């Protein structure tokens, strides 16, 4: 009788373990919303003293637009966007003026999304348009990086970057929420 109970308990714990694992190959809408909210509130309103430092960074809207045949290309673009956001903070450090706890949470959630959806890049369904999306993203994030470099990672430079990342996340949330769980 005890062996029977142990077998049932082992089976139960195996199922619990499998069900508790994160769903891979899916972007999670709730995490994307949380990253947006954390970044939005980490620094407050765009500072008036930074208005003169603003630069025009063309937003690659076409990267995140799709029809039903292009879902994989958009998923890959969103995934790559998260990687680029993570790389910005890795390469340039954290802005001192922002709420450190919110920024840590933001970075942790971005990392978590990257980690748990890595296999998106292995999807082979129709994604012939991805190379052009990838090239547009590369130019966009190189422009953001060069803004940080040119302005020596100043407070105003980080505020410009924050506004660009917020614009990107907002566009993804508004126009791609149906491809996220």
Domain ranges for the chain, please list them: 24-179
Q: pLDDT: is 138 or 8 the higher one?
A: 138
Q: Which of 116, 112, 25, 145 is nearest to 76 (CA)?
A: 25
Q: Can you tell me the mean pLDDT for 22-26?
A: 58
Residue 18 has pLDDT above 80, yes or no: no
Q: What is the pLDDT of residue 91?
A: 94
Q: Report pLDDT for 164.
A: 96
| Average pLDDT for 15-35 | 68
The per-residue pLDDT for range 156-176, each reduced to its tens digit, is 999 999 999 999 999 999 987
pLDDT score for 24 = 54
pLDDT for residue 4: 59
Q: What is the pLDDT of residue 172?
A: 92
The DSSP-derived string for 106-142 is: HHHHHHHHHHHTGGGGG--SS-TTHHHHHHHHHHHHH
Those residues with Cβ within 8 angstroms of residue 83's Cβ, 6 or more apart along the chain or in another chain: 114
- CA torsion, ordered 156, 158, 162, 165, to nearest 10 deg: 130
Q: Say whether domain 24-179 belongs to CATH 1.20.1250.10.
A: yes
pLDDT tens digits for range 27-61: 888 999 999 999 999 998 999 999 999 898 999 99
Confidence of residue 21 (pLDDT cuts 50, 70, 90): very low
pLDDT tens digits for 118-150?
A: 888 877 555 566 788 889 999 999 999 999 999
Predicted local confidence at residue 100, as pLDDT: 95
pTM of the predicted model as reported, rounded to 2 decimal places? 0.82
pLDDT in tens, 80-118: 999 999 999 999 988 989 999 999 999 999 999 999 888
pLDDT higher for 117 or 14? 117
């Amino acid at each position: 009788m005890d062996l029977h109970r142990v077998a049932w308990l082992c089976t139960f714990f195996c199922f619990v373990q499998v069900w508790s694992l994160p769903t891979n190959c899916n972007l999670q809408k709730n995490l994307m919303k949380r990253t947006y909210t954390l970044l939005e509130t980490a620094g407050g309103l765009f500072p008036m003293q930074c208005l003169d430092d603003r630069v025009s960074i063309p937003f690659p809207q076409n990267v995140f637009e799709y029809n039903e045949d292009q879902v994989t290309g958009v998923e890959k673009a969103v995934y790559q966007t998260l990687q680029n956001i993570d790389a910005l903070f890795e390469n340039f450090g954290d802005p001192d003026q922002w709420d450190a706890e919110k920024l840590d949470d933001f970075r942790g959630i971005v990392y978590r999304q990257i980690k748990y959806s890595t296999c998106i890049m292995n999807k082979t369904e129709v994604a012939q348009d991805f190379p052009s999306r990838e090239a547009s993203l590369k130019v966009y994030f190189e422009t953001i990086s060069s803004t940080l470099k040119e302005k020596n990672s100043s407070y105003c430079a980080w505020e410009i970057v924050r506004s660009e990342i917020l614009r990107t996340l907002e566009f993804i949330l508004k126009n791609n929420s149906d491809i996220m769980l």
